[in-house]
Structure 1
Amino acid sequence: MDLHLRHLEATDIPALFDIYSFPSVSENTSQLPYLSSDKVSSLFLNSDDYTLVAVNDTKVVGHVSLFLSPKIRDRHVAGIGIAVHPESHGKGIGRTLLLEAINQADNWLNLIRLELEVHCDNHGAVALYTSLGFEIEAEKQLSTFKAGQYSNMYLMSRIRPDFAAKA
Protein backbone atom coordinates (compact mmCIF):
# COMPACT_ATOMS: atom_id res chain seq x y z
CA MET A 1 0.00 0.00 0.00
CA ASP A 2 1.42 3.36 -1.07
CA LEU A 3 -0.29 5.63 1.50
CA HIS A 4 0.50 9.30 1.90
CA LEU A 5 -1.24 12.18 3.64
CA ARG A 6 -1.85 15.67 2.36
CA HIS A 7 -4.14 18.62 2.93
CA LEU A 8 -7.68 18.46 1.54
CA GLU A 9 -8.21 20.09 -1.85
CA ALA A 10 -11.54 21.05 -3.41
CA THR A 11 -10.98 18.34 -6.01
CA ASP A 12 -11.18 15.74 -3.20
CA ILE A 13 -14.85 16.43 -2.44
CA PRO A 14 -16.13 13.74 -4.85
CA ALA A 15 -13.96 11.16 -3.04
CA LEU A 16 -15.29 12.27 0.37
CA PHE A 17 -18.81 12.18 -1.07
CA ASP A 18 -18.11 8.56 -2.08
CA ILE A 19 -16.86 7.66 1.41
CA TYR A 20 -19.92 9.18 3.09
CA SER A 21 -22.28 7.43 0.65
CA PHE A 22 -21.77 4.15 2.52
CA PRO A 23 -24.32 3.48 5.28
CA SER A 24 -21.57 1.85 7.38
CA VAL A 25 -19.81 5.22 7.41
CA SER A 26 -22.74 7.61 7.77
CA GLU A 27 -24.33 5.60 10.59
CA ASN A 28 -21.34 6.39 12.79
CA THR A 29 -21.50 10.15 12.20
CA SER A 30 -23.90 12.85 13.30
CA GLN A 31 -25.08 13.26 9.70
CA LEU A 32 -28.03 11.70 7.91
CA PRO A 33 -27.42 9.01 5.28
CA TYR A 34 -27.26 10.09 1.64
CA LEU A 35 -25.47 13.39 2.05
CA SER A 36 -25.43 15.56 -1.04
CA SER A 37 -22.12 16.59 -2.54
CA ASP A 38 -22.98 20.18 -1.57
CA LYS A 39 -23.41 19.13 2.07
CA VAL A 40 -20.10 17.24 2.04
CA SER A 41 -18.44 20.28 0.53
CA SER A 42 -19.90 22.59 3.19
CA LEU A 43 -18.72 20.28 5.97
CA PHE A 44 -15.10 20.07 4.87
CA LEU A 45 -14.20 23.10 2.75
CA ASN A 46 -14.17 25.54 5.65
CA SER A 47 -10.94 27.53 5.67
CA ASP A 48 -11.07 27.80 9.48
CA ASP A 49 -10.73 24.02 9.85
CA TYR A 50 -7.83 21.71 9.12
CA THR A 51 -8.46 18.56 7.05
CA LEU A 52 -5.99 15.94 5.91
CA VAL A 53 -6.75 13.17 3.43
CA ALA A 54 -5.14 9.76 3.12
CA VAL A 55 -4.31 8.83 -0.45
CA ASN A 56 -3.57 5.23 -1.47
CA ASP A 57 -1.89 5.33 -4.87
CA THR A 58 -4.18 7.98 -6.38
CA LYS A 59 -7.42 7.28 -4.47
CA VAL A 60 -8.54 9.26 -1.41
CA VAL A 61 -9.40 6.56 1.14
CA GLY A 62 -10.01 8.62 4.27
CA HIS A 63 -9.85 11.96 6.02
CA VAL A 64 -9.41 13.49 9.44
CA SER A 65 -10.63 16.99 10.25
CA LEU A 66 -9.75 19.27 13.12
CA PHE A 67 -12.71 21.58 13.61
CA LEU A 68 -11.16 24.63 15.24
CA SER A 69 -13.27 26.57 17.68
CA PRO A 70 -14.38 30.03 16.52
CA LYS A 71 -14.74 31.12 20.18
CA ILE A 72 -11.86 33.35 21.19
CA ARG A 73 -11.49 31.72 24.62
CA ASP A 74 -11.61 28.20 23.12
CA ARG A 75 -8.97 28.57 20.43
CA HIS A 76 -6.91 25.87 22.15
CA VAL A 77 -9.65 23.28 21.43
CA ALA A 78 -10.56 21.34 18.29
CA GLY A 79 -13.19 18.74 17.55
CA ILE A 80 -12.26 15.73 15.46
CA GLY A 81 -14.10 14.11 12.58
CA ILE A 82 -12.73 11.08 10.77
CA ALA A 83 -13.89 8.60 8.16
CA VAL A 84 -12.22 5.82 6.18
CA HIS A 85 -13.56 4.19 3.03
CA PRO A 86 -15.09 0.79 3.97
CA GLU A 87 -12.80 -1.02 1.50
CA SER A 88 -9.84 0.32 3.50
CA HIS A 89 -11.02 -0.51 7.01
CA GLY A 90 -8.61 -2.48 9.17
CA LYS A 91 -5.50 -1.33 7.32
CA GLY A 92 -4.25 1.26 9.82
CA ILE A 93 -5.44 4.26 7.84
CA GLY A 94 -7.52 5.70 10.67
CA ARG A 95 -4.59 5.34 13.08
CA THR A 96 -2.22 6.99 10.58
CA LEU A 97 -4.62 9.90 10.06
CA LEU A 98 -5.19 10.41 13.78
CA LEU A 99 -1.48 10.24 14.61
CA GLU A 100 -0.76 12.98 12.09
CA ALA A 101 -3.71 15.08 13.30
CA ILE A 102 -2.34 14.80 16.84
CA ASN A 103 1.12 15.78 15.60
CA GLN A 104 -0.30 18.81 13.82
CA ALA A 105 -2.39 19.75 16.88
CA ASP A 106 0.51 19.45 19.32
CA ASN A 107 3.39 20.81 17.27
CA TRP A 108 1.94 23.21 14.70
CA LEU A 109 -1.54 24.38 15.65
CA ASN A 110 -0.84 24.90 19.36
CA LEU A 111 -3.93 22.97 20.40
CA ILE A 112 -4.21 21.61 23.91
CA ARG A 113 -7.52 19.76 23.87
CA LEU A 114 -8.83 17.45 21.14
CA GLU A 115 -12.38 16.20 21.59
CA LEU A 116 -14.84 13.99 19.80
CA GLU A 117 -18.12 12.18 20.19
CA VAL A 118 -18.39 8.52 19.29
CA HIS A 119 -21.29 6.07 19.35
CA CYS A 120 -20.89 3.78 22.37
CA ASP A 121 -21.48 0.72 20.14
CA ASN A 122 -18.61 1.69 17.80
CA HIS A 123 -16.14 -0.49 19.73
CA GLY A 124 -13.39 -0.35 17.09
CA ALA A 125 -13.34 3.46 17.09
CA VAL A 126 -13.43 3.64 20.90
CA ALA A 127 -10.48 1.23 21.08
CA LEU A 128 -8.53 3.27 18.51
CA TYR A 129 -9.13 6.56 20.30
CA THR A 130 -8.24 5.06 23.68
CA SER A 131 -5.00 3.60 22.28
CA LEU A 132 -4.00 7.11 21.16
CA GLY A 133 -4.54 8.72 24.56
CA PHE A 134 -8.19 9.77 24.40
CA GLU A 135 -10.22 9.24 27.54
CA ILE A 136 -13.95 8.90 28.03
CA GLU A 137 -15.18 11.96 29.89
CA ALA A 138 -18.90 11.22 29.82
CA GLU A 139 -21.59 9.02 28.37
CA LYS A 140 -24.38 11.05 26.83
CA GLN A 141 -27.59 9.11 27.38
CA LEU A 142 -30.05 8.85 24.46
CA SER A 143 -28.13 11.59 22.71
CA THR A 144 -28.65 10.59 19.10
CA PHE A 145 -31.18 8.83 16.91
CA LYS A 146 -29.70 6.02 14.83
CA ALA A 147 -31.31 3.19 12.89
CA GLY A 148 -34.74 3.80 14.38
CA GLN A 149 -33.71 4.06 18.02
CA TYR A 150 -31.99 6.34 20.46
CA SER A 151 -28.42 5.52 21.35
CA ASN A 152 -25.73 6.75 23.68
CA MET A 153 -22.53 8.52 22.75
CA TYR A 154 -19.24 8.92 24.55
CA LEU A 155 -17.60 12.30 24.85
CA MET A 156 -13.86 11.63 24.61
CA SER A 157 -10.90 13.96 24.80
CA ARG A 158 -7.13 14.01 24.67
CA ILE A 159 -5.21 16.66 26.57
CA ARG A 160 -1.75 17.44 25.21
CA PRO A 161 0.70 15.58 27.47
CA ASP A 162 2.59 18.68 28.64
CA PHE A 163 -0.72 20.06 29.95
CA ALA A 164 -2.28 16.81 31.19
CA ALA A 165 -0.41 16.95 34.51
CA LYS A 166 -1.81 20.45 35.11
CA ALA A 167 -5.41 19.41 34.44
Structure 2
Amino acid sequence: MEHIIRCLENTDTSDLAEIYSFQSVTQNTSQVPFLSSEKVASLFSNPDHYTLVAEYDSKVIGHVTLFMTTKVRDRHCSGVGIAIHPDFHGKGVGKSLMIKAIEQADNWLNLVRLELEVHCDNPTAVALYEKLGFEHEGTKRLSTFKHGKYSDMFVMSRIAPNFR
Protein backbone atom coordinates (compact mmCIF):
# COMPACT_ATOMS: atom_id res chain seq x y z
CA MET A 1 0.00 0.00 0.00
CA GLU A 2 1.52 3.27 -1.15
CA HIS A 3 1.23 6.22 1.22
CA ILE A 4 3.23 9.38 1.72
CA ILE A 5 4.60 10.92 4.89
CA ARG A 6 4.41 14.69 5.25
CA CYS A 7 4.12 17.40 7.88
CA LEU A 8 0.80 18.19 9.52
CA GLU A 9 -1.30 20.91 7.89
CA ASN A 10 -4.23 22.85 9.38
CA THR A 11 -6.52 21.20 6.82
CA ASP A 12 -5.84 17.75 8.33
CA THR A 13 -8.00 18.27 11.42
CA SER A 14 -11.14 16.55 10.12
CA ASP A 15 -9.20 13.43 9.07
CA LEU A 16 -7.50 13.31 12.48
CA ALA A 17 -10.86 13.71 14.21
CA GLU A 18 -12.14 10.73 12.22
CA ILE A 19 -9.17 8.62 13.32
CA TYR A 20 -9.85 9.51 16.97
CA SER A 21 -13.56 8.72 16.57
CA PHE A 22 -12.80 4.99 16.70
CA GLN A 23 -12.74 3.39 20.13
CA SER A 24 -10.20 0.89 18.79
CA VAL A 25 -7.87 3.88 18.40
CA THR A 26 -8.59 5.79 21.61
CA GLN A 27 -8.36 2.66 23.77
CA ASN A 28 -4.62 2.55 23.04
CA THR A 29 -3.98 6.26 23.56
CA SER A 30 -4.32 8.55 26.55
CA GLN A 31 -7.57 9.94 25.13
CA VAL A 32 -11.15 8.96 25.93
CA PRO A 33 -13.69 7.88 23.29
CA PHE A 34 -16.02 10.43 21.69
CA LEU A 35 -13.64 13.37 21.37
CA SER A 36 -15.06 16.47 19.74
CA SER A 37 -13.36 17.78 16.62
CA GLU A 38 -12.37 20.87 18.65
CA LYS A 39 -10.64 18.67 21.23
CA VAL A 40 -8.78 16.77 18.52
CA ALA A 41 -7.71 20.06 16.93
CA SER A 42 -6.40 21.25 20.30
CA LEU A 43 -4.24 18.12 20.60
CA PHE A 44 -2.32 19.28 17.53
CA SER A 45 -2.24 23.03 18.11
CA ASN A 46 0.91 23.26 20.23
CA PRO A 47 3.62 24.88 18.09
CA ASP A 48 6.34 23.15 20.14
CA HIS A 49 5.19 19.70 19.00
CA TYR A 50 6.32 18.13 15.76
CA THR A 51 3.72 16.07 13.87
CA LEU A 52 4.03 13.98 10.73
CA VAL A 53 1.03 12.43 9.00
CA ALA A 54 0.58 9.51 6.63
CA GLU A 55 -1.60 10.27 3.64
CA TYR A 56 -3.27 7.77 1.32
CA ASP A 57 -5.53 8.77 -1.55
CA SER A 58 -5.62 12.41 -0.32
CA LYS A 59 -6.74 11.36 3.19
CA VAL A 60 -4.75 11.39 6.43
CA ILE A 61 -4.66 7.84 7.78
CA GLY A 62 -2.31 8.27 10.73
CA HIS A 63 0.02 10.56 12.63
CA VAL A 64 3.06 10.48 14.84
CA THR A 65 3.79 13.39 17.16
CA LEU A 66 7.01 14.27 18.93
CA PHE A 67 6.07 16.14 22.08
CA MET A 68 8.88 18.65 22.37
CA THR A 69 9.47 20.50 25.61
CA THR A 70 10.56 24.01 26.42
CA LYS A 71 12.21 22.86 29.66
CA VAL A 72 15.86 23.81 29.27
CA ARG A 73 17.25 20.67 30.87
CA ASP A 74 14.95 18.31 28.91
CA ARG A 75 15.29 19.69 25.38
CA HIS A 76 17.19 16.60 24.30
CA CYS A 77 14.10 14.44 25.04
CA SER A 78 10.75 14.02 23.36
CA GLY A 79 7.64 12.03 24.07
CA VAL A 80 6.08 10.09 21.20
CA GLY A 81 2.40 9.61 20.37
CA ILE A 82 0.95 7.77 17.39
CA ALA A 83 -2.47 6.81 16.05
CA ILE A 84 -3.47 4.99 12.86
CA HIS A 85 -6.90 4.72 11.24
CA PRO A 86 -8.26 1.19 11.96
CA ASP A 87 -8.64 0.43 8.24
CA PHE A 88 -4.87 0.72 7.95
CA HIS A 89 -3.73 -1.23 11.02
CA GLY A 90 -1.15 -3.88 10.17
CA LYS A 91 -0.25 -2.33 6.80
CA GLY A 92 3.06 -0.69 7.71
CA VAL A 93 1.71 2.83 8.24
CA GLY A 94 2.77 3.01 11.89
CA LYS A 95 6.20 1.64 11.07
CA SER A 96 6.82 4.16 8.28
CA LEU A 97 5.63 7.04 10.47
CA MET A 98 7.88 5.96 13.34
CA ILE A 99 10.89 5.54 11.04
CA LYS A 100 10.45 9.06 9.64
CA ALA A 101 9.96 10.53 13.14
CA ILE A 102 13.14 8.79 14.34
CA GLU A 103 15.05 10.07 11.30
CA GLN A 104 13.89 13.61 12.06
CA ALA A 105 14.75 13.23 15.76
CA ASP A 106 18.23 11.90 15.06
CA ASN A 107 19.22 14.05 12.09
CA TRP A 108 17.36 17.35 12.38
CA LEU A 109 15.86 17.92 15.81
CA ASN A 110 18.97 17.09 17.86
CA LEU A 111 17.05 14.70 20.12
CA VAL A 112 18.92 12.10 22.13
CA ARG A 113 16.03 10.40 23.88
CA LEU A 114 12.61 9.40 22.57
CA GLU A 115 10.21 8.07 25.18
CA LEU A 116 6.73 6.62 25.17
CA GLU A 117 4.21 4.70 27.19
CA VAL A 118 2.36 1.78 25.66
CA HIS A 119 -0.43 -0.37 27.01
CA CYS A 120 0.92 -3.74 28.13
CA ASP A 121 -2.00 -5.44 26.37
CA ASN A 122 -0.96 -4.02 22.97
CA PRO A 123 1.68 -6.54 21.85
CA THR A 124 1.64 -5.34 18.24
CA ALA A 125 2.71 -1.83 19.24
CA VAL A 126 5.27 -3.15 21.74
CA ALA A 127 6.83 -5.34 19.03
CA LEU A 128 7.02 -2.41 16.62
CA TYR A 129 8.74 -0.20 19.16
CA GLU A 130 11.21 -2.95 20.04
CA LYS A 131 12.05 -3.47 16.34
CA LEU A 132 12.77 0.25 16.07
CA GLY A 133 15.22 0.26 18.97
CA PHE A 134 13.01 1.16 21.92
CA GLU A 135 13.88 -0.59 25.16
CA HIS A 136 11.75 -1.34 28.20
CA GLU A 137 12.49 0.86 31.19
CA GLY A 138 9.74 -0.32 33.47
CA THR A 139 6.08 -1.00 34.04
CA LYS A 140 3.65 1.53 35.43
CA ARG A 141 1.26 -0.69 37.34
CA LEU A 142 -2.43 0.23 37.28
CA SER A 143 -1.49 3.46 35.53
CA THR A 144 -4.49 3.90 33.27
CA PHE A 145 -8.21 3.14 33.24
CA LYS A 146 -9.85 1.57 30.21
CA HIS A 147 -12.81 -0.71 29.59
CA GLY A 148 -13.87 -0.38 33.22
CA LYS A 149 -10.62 -1.54 34.83
CA TYR A 150 -7.11 -0.38 35.60
CA SER A 151 -4.33 -1.57 33.36
CA ASP A 152 -0.56 -1.42 33.20
CA MET A 153 1.65 0.54 30.83
CA PHE A 154 5.20 -0.12 29.71
CA VAL A 155 7.62 2.79 29.73
CA MET A 156 9.97 2.50 26.76
CA SER A 157 12.72 4.70 25.36
CA ARG A 158 15.18 4.88 22.52
CA ILE A 159 18.55 6.57 22.88
CA ALA A 160 20.02 7.88 19.63
CA PRO A 161 22.69 5.38 18.53
CA ASN A 162 25.21 8.08 17.66
CA PHE A 163 25.02 9.36 21.23
CA ARG A 164 26.09 6.13 22.92
TM-score between the two structures when normalised by the length of structure 1: 0.96
CA drift of 1:3 comes to 0.7
Paired with 1:38 and 1:113, the residues of 2 have a C-alpha distance of 31
Unaligned runs of 5+ in 1: none
**Pairing 1:153–2:153 present:** yes
1:30-69 alignment, distance < 5 Å: 30-69=30-69
Q: CA deviation digits over 1:139-163, x for unaligned, max 9?
A: 0000011100000000000000022
Separation of aligned partners in 2, 1:45 and 1:60: 17
Distance 1:67 1:113, change over 3 A: same
Regions of 4+ moved over 3 Å: none
- The C-alpha deviation readout for 1:66-106, integer Å capped at 9, x for no partner, is 00012111000000000110000111000000000000000
Q: For residue 22 of structure 2, what is the aligned residue in structure 1?
A: 22
Equivalences, count: 164
Residue 115 (structure 1) aligns with: 115
The corresponding residue for 1:10 is: 10
Secondary structure of 1:162's aligned partner: coil
Question: What's the TM-score once normalised by structure 2's chain length?
Answer: 0.98
RMSD after superposition = 0.7
Deviations 1:25-47 (A, max 9, x none): 00001111111111111111211
Secondary structure of the residue that 1:138 maps to in structure 2? strand
1:100 is matched with which residue? 100
- How many angstroms apart in 1 are the aligned matches of 2:2 and 2:30? 31
Give 3-state SS (helix, strand or coil) of 1:117's partner. strand
Amino acid at match of 1:88: F
Structure 1 residues 2 and 57: CA distance shift in structure 2, 3 A: farther
Identity of aligned residues (%): 63
Structure 2, unaligned runs of 5 or more: none
Q: CA deviation at 1:60?
A: 0.7
